[in-house]
Amino acid sequence: MARHVLNGELPAFFWGQAFKGVPEVYASAGAFALFGSSVAVLKGVTLAFFAAFVALNFVLLDRIASRWVAAAASLLLIASPPALVFWSLDASAEYVLIMLLGTVLLLTMRMKADMETAPESENDATHKARLLAIGIIVGAGLWIHQLFVVYLIPLAMLLAWRNRTRLTTFARLNRFALALGTIAAAYLVLAIIAFVSGGFAVQLGSIAISATAPQKMARIAAGILALAALAQLAGTSTMAQVREGIRRYWTLALGAAIGYLPVILFSILVEPARSPARVANLQQLVAAAPDILGNIVPILAGFKIATTERLPLPLIAVIPAAAALASFLWFARRRITTDFFALFVVFFPMLFLASGAYLDTQSYRYLIPWYAGLAVAWAIGSLTLARGRHAVATAIVAAIAGVHLWQQTIWYHKLQPDTQSAATIACLERKGIRGGYAEYWTAYKLTFVAQEAIIIAPTDGVDRYPPYTEFVRALPANERINVENAVCR
């Protein structure tokens, strides 16, 4: 995709789908223009994003916590379980970008909070610029992946709690807001019933009534509730207040539109942008519990790799991280309404389970941004365990980081260099082959490594780029080959 950007293509989403924005493709295109296209440069772009995240996360934690917490959390992000190492070097940077943009958003929000004590003239001079930046970050985050809501929802909850005294205007609902709120509540109740029981479907004559998709009904409830809030706001605001609100916040909406612009243009010019609808209920999650607890949790903890292969570490090695996390959760129980990271660490896995994000073991990747909170939890939990004694806390953090480095070392020794791809390409070149077919995970890799001098189209999975397939089909029979059956394999 990055090479094709240099040839004039402007993708909004990952090839073959109408979701998952690809800003890293444009960053990779720029890197290719400077350094040439290679696997190292491609992975280096993701690593650069990760390095930027760690650096900005240090700045954030230094401001809202302490220098020690910032240093300890940064160490635990760098000396992390293999799962985070893998995604910090993968050529698909969306999860790293979510963490990066989430950190930038928190920094921007913090800067705005710091300005509340500034002189009014200075505050007003920068207010619109701050809101514009916040809007752009939010829009861009939602373009990259809807998973960005793991930052937005906790922030919205904290802001609502902080401004609860200002929300007294919602105490007496007008009739429009009350009607919409009642409908939203009904959808929410149906969503809960469908999630807990699996739902129901009845036929009343020619009318079919069903409630089997809890996630869809919850989204509808949220949308109607937002309309109810707007109806209440409209009913309790004067025209002067509306004009003042527009004057103060129009740049927020503008920024969101700018950040979300790729989605808007794609929806207008190509097709409506959409993400796959997921349906999950309690029974399905109970059935998935062995995989979640037996594979996903160990992968995130670093005791398994994504192939579900167990790394030969004693289970006792989990004690430092588990104890620090438990200590943080106990410490944070009374701060959850005021501390973003306390809410983030608790909310993230709950959303993962309730949203239908789980499909199989590989769904662990949706939890990668959770490490942004886990690193903070391990750092603060270590300090809590040590009763504030930095020397003891540093020893606990060193133990956690040491276990992670141990995991990385074992994983590294299991990795084998890919010598087959280069050998296959050399063989195809000797035989005068210009294209062919292979299974999904081989096809695009060979096409990239061959610098597209040889095009390999997939025989299974999603046909991400139909022009590749069309090119191979148009080749003479003596110039194309099925790589899976060829002597080159």
Tens of pLDDT, residue by residue over 14-58, are 999 998 999 999 999 999 999 999 999 999 999 999 999 999 999
- Reported in sequence order, the residue ranges of 113-173 that DSSP labels E, i.e. its strands, are none
Query: In this predicted structure, what is the pLDDT of residue 112?
Result: 57
Q: Verify that 374 and 407 share a domain, yes or no.
A: yes
Q: Verify that 450 and 408 share a domain, yes or no.
A: no
**pLDDT 10s per residue in the chain (489 long)?**
999 999 999 999 999 999 899 999 999 999 999 999 999 999 999 999 999 999 999 999 999 999 999 999 999 999 999 999 999 998 889 999 999 999 999 999 876 565 455 545 456 667 888 999 999 999 999 999 999 999 999 999 998 888 776 666 555 778 888 899 899 999 999 999 999 988 888 777 777 777 888 998 999 999 999 998 888 888 888 888 888 888 888 999 999 999 999 999 999 999 999 887 788 899 999 999 999 999 999 999 999 998 899 999 999 999 999 999 999 999 988 888 889 999 999 999 999 999 989 999 999 999 999 999 999 999 999 999 999 999 999 999 999 999 999 999 999 999 988 888 999 999 999 989 999 999 999 999 999 999 999 999 999 988 999 999 999 999 999 889 998 776 665
Q: Verify that 258 and 332 share a domain, yes or no.
A: no
Q: Verify that 333 and 386 share a domain, yes or no.
A: yes
9-23 tens-digit pLDDT: 999 999 999 989 999
Query: In this predicted structure, what is the pLDDT of residue 234?
Result: 82
Q: Which of 24, 82, 32, 81 is nearest to 48 (CA)?
A: 24
Q: What is the rounded CA–CA span in Å between residue 161 and residue 435? A: 60
CB 12 within 8 A of CB 22: yes
Query: In this predicted structure, what is the pLDDT of residue 111?
Result: 65
Residue 87 lies in a domain: yes
Q: Verify that 213 and 315 share a domain, yes or no.
A: no
Which domain-ending residue is among 80, 113, 143? 143
CB-facing half-sphere around the CA of 49: CA atoms within 13 A: 29
Q: Verify that 234 and 300 share a domain, yes or no.
A: no
Q: Verify that 383 and 256 share a domain, yes or no.
A: no
Q: What is the rounded CA–CA span in Å between residue 447 and residue 122? A: 55
CA dihedral 271→272→276→279, nearest 10 degrees, is -140
Counting runs of H as helices and runs of E as strands, what totals does the chain give? Answer: 21, 5
> In sequence order, which ranges of 145-238 are alpha helices (DSSP H)?
149-162, 175-197, 214-236
Q: Verify that 334 and 398 share a domain, yes or no.
A: yes
Residue 150 lies in a domain: no
Structure tokens at 180: 């919409």
Backbone angles phi, psi at 203, to 5 degrees: -120, 115
**CA angle (296, 300, 305) in 5-degree steps:** 75
CB 393 within 8 A of CB 382: yes
- Where in the sequence is the domain holding 199, given as residue range(s)? 161-269
The SS3 assignment for 81 reads: coil
Residue 334 lies in a domain: yes
Residue 156 lies in a domain: no
The SS3 assignment for 344 reads: helix
In the DSSP assignment, the letter for residue 370 is: G
Q: Which strands, in side-by-side order, build the sheet including 480-482?
A: 455-458, 435-438, 480-482
Spatial neighbors of 182 by CB under 8 A, at least 6 apart, are none
Query: In this predicted structure, what is the pLDDT of residue 242?
Result: 83
Query: In this predicted structure, what is the pLDDT of residue 238?
Result: 83
Q: Verify that 428 and 407 share a domain, yes or no.
A: no
> Based on the structure, what is the number of domains in the chain?
4
Q: Which of 381, 382, 400, 378 is nearest to 391 (CA)?
A: 382
Q: Verify that 203 and 240 share a domain, yes or no.
A: yes
CB-facing half-sphere around the CA of 405: CA atoms within 13 A: 10
Query: In this predicted structure, what is the pLDDT of residue 207?
Result: 78
CB atoms within 10 A of CB 369: 27
Q: Verify that 50 and 132 share a domain, yes or no.
A: yes
Which domain-ending residue is among 94, 109, 143? 143
Q: Verify that 9 and 139 share a domain, yes or no.
A: yes
